[in-house]
Amino acid sequence: MPLLRLDKVSLAYGHRVLLDHVDLEIRRGERVCLLGRNGEGKSSLMRVISGETLPDDGRVWIRPGMRIAHLAQAVTLDSTDSVFDVVADGLPELGRLISEYHHAATALGQSHMPAGLARLAQLQHALEAAGGWQWEQRVETVLSRLGLDGTASFHALSGGWQRRVMLARALVCEPDVLLLDEPTNHLDIEAITWLEDFMVEYPGALLFISHDRAFVRRLATRILELDRGLLTSWSGDYDAYVDRKAQQLTVEAQHNAQFDKKLSQEEAWIRQGIKARRTRNEGGVRALEGLREQRRQRRDRTGQADLRLEEAERSGKLVFEAEHVRKHFGDKTVIRDFSVRILRGDRVGILGPNGAGKSTLIKLLLGELSPDSGRILRGTRLQTAYFDQQRDQLDPALSVMDNVSEGSQTVTINGRSRHVAGYLRDFLFPPERLQSPVSTLSGGERNRLLLARLFAQPANLLVLDEPTNDLDVETLELLEELILGYQGTLLLVSHDRAFLDNVVTSTLVFEGRGRIAEYVGGYSDWLRQRKIPVPPESGQAQGAAFSEPARAAGAERRSGQSRKLSYRDQRELDALPAKIESLEAEQSRLHAAVNDAGFYQRAPDDITTTLARLEALAAELQACYARWETLESLAATVAS
């Protein structure tokens, strides 16, 4: 039995039909990917399913008692609550209770007021009665996995981090149907792979929109495509869909060509006038009218974007050379002892967790920041086109046309003058959208507009910082083709694994503590070359490292040496399992004591000491696990 069903659902905005009598069923355990071009109505379909938008016609049926959670593409929540409270609010029945307990426990650590102890005990009993402990732990787990600070104010976060918080809020309640609209946007690769692992084991149904091809390949058990108002279901994985869709478009083009040829012949006959009409019956005239109506009703597929880059004169052979560069902000070292040489024509990917320093590295190379030590040599005749992920180069108050032409009616592309309307049509902007302010555009449309603005400028150095967010797959593939034919130099920051694999020739990877290693090839090549990854060590800031053992192993490969475990390291490795077992046993005893009904009737100092020891044990265990993984990785390196 399906969890939800759409029967003949229609939705239109003005004259534009987004859903044209569509049918859909989703069953438990399915992971369905919804594909379609930007602007086809995918997000609108999700809002219809979630109940946020009412259809113009048709019926939406949801099995009684089903819980639905929806991660929208845009963040609309405006809250001054903490991140913990926002995520916990995803649990409708228990969220407020868990938040109150969390705040009471935090306040108790700062004071020993009897009233605080009584309130904490009251909340503890309420959570026990409601079976809320497992949900409180789930909130903490999701926060940890997505690298979120529960104490931070939601209102103070950037748009990308707010979206990550809303993802956590959608995941925490384990809904029966989970709707995710571009869930990988603004996530780093570590968070994306965790989300993939989480969703593979997810027991409910998943409907998600994504243009991350690696994500879709890993998760999708079925493909839904929304194309010109029609919803088509394709069984099988993403690659099977691509092959079968190409065949369908070929057949459709042939049928349309045959139809247009027949219509043209009939139009030629009718133009011959009364003499020809005498040889044909009136049925032929009526048939022609029918053909004309069919042609009017046909919804042709929008043409492909035509991406072309205005290339400048060739730069010098050397583009960048960095030697022992170091950069820090306050007491945090972002880049440490970094050296690299980038030559004309190189296509370099930059890979690392959010907050690792990727944008800082680009600004150092471009001269927007100065290193604290070391030197950076820049090549000659460099002309740079810079795509920034915040799209700061677009003025939201100006029109689409003015953002590209800056008041002119023409742009120069490869030495030829073109009217800006025709140029923007190549980027799929119809004439009626040219005077629209940028503030009204979708995320994908803004990305296309920024690409149009950049590609109208001569450039022999192309810097792209997360260009793939919100772009549909078709435009992504066209951008790949453009870059592959580009004769200049490319610096690319991206968390799109397929895009990196298809485009770059080498990769700079942030591997923790400011260390950056260089690898040949793209993301998959880096995976093959690195050693076993581990979580960041205890006390390290979120987003600060991919893999500390990978950094050490990579340095050993480059130097041609293998570090052997010392006698002391080996003894430490042998002793760690027993130490971890002892710490976990103590942790279990203290958890049992805290959960005891009479715990909060003890002396205040005893309560505070116990809670503080629990926090210390958690930190000590995390450090032990990190150290164990580090030593195990070094031992494996020696053995290999």
* Greater pLDDT, 499 or 136: 499
Element (H, E) at 474: helix 473-484
Cβ contact 85:143 at 8 Å: no
Mean pLDDT of the chain: 79
Beta strands in 87-173 (DSSP E): none
Instruction: Give the three-state DSSP class for 384.
Output: strand
DSSP label of 431: G
Separation between Cα atoms, residue 17 and residue 446, nearest integer Å: 22
Cβ contact 164:186 at 8 Å: yes
Centre a 10 Å sphere on the Cβ of residue 252 and count the other Cβ atoms it contains.
12
What pLDDT sits at residue 560? 38
Distances in Å between the alpha carbon of 476 and those of 109, 201, 464, 544? Answer: 51, 29, 13, 29
Separation between Cα atoms, residue 179 and residue 205, nearest integer Å: 9
Cβ contact 40:211 at 8 Å: no
Strands 230-235 and 222-227: antiparallel
What pLDDT sits at residue 351? 92
pLDDT at 89 over 90: no
For 39-62, write each residue's pLDDT tens digit: 788 989 999 999 999 999 999 999
pLDDT band at 284 (very low <50, low <70, confident <90, very high): low
Cβ contact 201:230 at 8 Å: no
Q: Is 173 left (phi over 0), alpha (psi -120 to 50) or beta?
A: alpha
For 303-334, write each residue's pLDDT tens digit: 555 566 666 678 889 999 999 999 999 888 99
pLDDT at 242 over 50: yes
Distances in Å between the alpha carbon of 293 and those of 156, 287, 289, 297, 384? Answer: 56, 10, 6, 6, 51
Q: Can you read off the two tokens belonging to residue 121?
A: 């005990």
Question: Which domains does the chain show, CATH number per domain?
Answer: 80-170 (no CATH), 241-297 (no CATH), 318-398+459-529 (3.40.50.300), 567-639 (1.10.287.380)
pLDDT band at 600 (very low <50, low <70, confident <90, very high): low
What pLDDT sits at residue 92? 66
Separation between Cα atoms, residue 329 and residue 332, nearest integer Å: 5
pLDDT band at 82 (very low <50, low <70, confident <90, very high): confident
Separation between Cα atoms, residue 400 and residue 452, nearest integer Å: 10
pLDDT at 171 over 50: yes
Separation between Cα atoms, residue 359 and residue 390, nearest integer Å: 11
- Full-prediction pTM beyond 0.75? no
